[in-house]
């Protein structure tokens, strides 16, 4: 059975085949070709099967998001499949899943590799989205350090003294710093490499979203998350489908004048922290 006879399809590339990323892709990929990338072949096959049974055209490639050449090969694969219309990066490790060194390597430097690589293959009018975290609003990086980050190469990020000394204190600090750096990487790319491709790139910082991987965090720090949820304006967790709706807007034509920004989507958690209604402890 041939479900779709169209050959000249736009490409949607997703790095990190988890539930949030696949929800975003499902929202925007009808009639397009999907390229899924993940370090886990098991995750890839599970996600690909779901898309195929839903009538989507999907291709997979194993990718190590911490390896520059692996990420470049993934971007090249996307370009070889057609006009790269959308790129979404959800790859990352949470504080209770990894040590500070790995979080910096994956969530910070790895994100930079992906932004750089797709900045070389995006089609004119295309758009990218990095899924960051509300944690990026939970740290205060000095202005001079943010300037150094904005003017650093991706490879040089881990050598910035603030990253080596402050971010490496513990996994929680590494995560918050990495997510703030994500915002700055998106800003830099929007003004430079992605601008040259006439493509846009933004990020979304989700709050507490219920996903299978989130249960690792709930198991390790459930009391803290419960307090965070209870103190927020929404008084609930968010869903991957809600993130997908906002993502579809930022990636789509109605957001054509939006690039280089982060959308905080946290149900009011950061507002609660900033007003003193919730006392944050980063560990």
Supply 244's token pair. Answer: 């997908």
Quote the CA–CA distance of 187 and 185 in Å, as a whole number: 5
Residue 209 DSSP one-character state? B
Positions marked catalytic = 175, 179
Cβ(183)–Cβ(133) below 8 Å: no
Nearest to 60 by CA among 41, 85, 84: 41
Supply 123's token pair. Answer: 């089609």
Phi and psi, residue 39, nearest 5°: -75, -20
Residue 30 DSSP one-character state? T
**Buried-state track 217-243, b at ≥16 Cβ within 10 A, e below 16:** bbeebeeeeeebbebbeeeebbbbeeb
Phi and psi based region of residue 268 (left: phi greater than 0; alpha: psi -120 to 50; beta: remaining): left
């Amino acid at each position: 059975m041939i479900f779709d006879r169209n050959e000249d399809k736009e490409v949607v590339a997703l790095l990190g085949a988890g539930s949030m990323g696949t929800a975003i892709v499902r929202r925007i990929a009808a009639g397009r070709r999907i390229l899924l990338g993940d370090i886990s072949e098991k995750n890839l096959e599970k996600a690909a099967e779901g898309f195929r049974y839903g009538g989507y055209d999907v291709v997979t490639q194993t990718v190590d998001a911490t390896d520059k050449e692996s990420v470049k090969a993934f971007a090249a694969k996307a370009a070889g499949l057609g006009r790269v219309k959308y790129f979404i990066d959800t790859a990352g490790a949470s504080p209770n899943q990894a040590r500070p060194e790995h979080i910096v390597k994956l969530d910070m430097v790895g994100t930079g590799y992906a932004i750089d690589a797709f900045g070389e293959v995006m089609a004119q009018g295309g758009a990218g989205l990095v899924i960051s975290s509300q944690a990026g609003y939970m740290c205060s990086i000095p202005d001079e350090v943010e300037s150094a980050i904005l003017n650093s190469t991706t490879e040089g990020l881990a050598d910035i003294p603030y990253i080596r000394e402050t971010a490496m204190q513990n996994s929680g600090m590494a995560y918050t710093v990495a997510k703030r750096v994500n915002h700055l990487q998106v800003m830099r790319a929007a003004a430079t490499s992605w601008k040259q491709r006439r493509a846009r790139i933004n990020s979304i910082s989700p709050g507490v979203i219920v996903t299978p991987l989130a249960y690792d965090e709930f198991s390790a720090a459930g009391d803290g998350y419960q307090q965070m949820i209870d103190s927020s304006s929404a008084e609930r967790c968010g869903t991957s489908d809600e993130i997908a709706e906002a993502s579809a807007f930022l990636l789509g034509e109605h957001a054509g004048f939006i690039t280089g920004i982060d959308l905080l989507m946290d149900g009011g958690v950061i507002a609660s922290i900033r007003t003193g209604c919730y006392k944050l402890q980063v560990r």
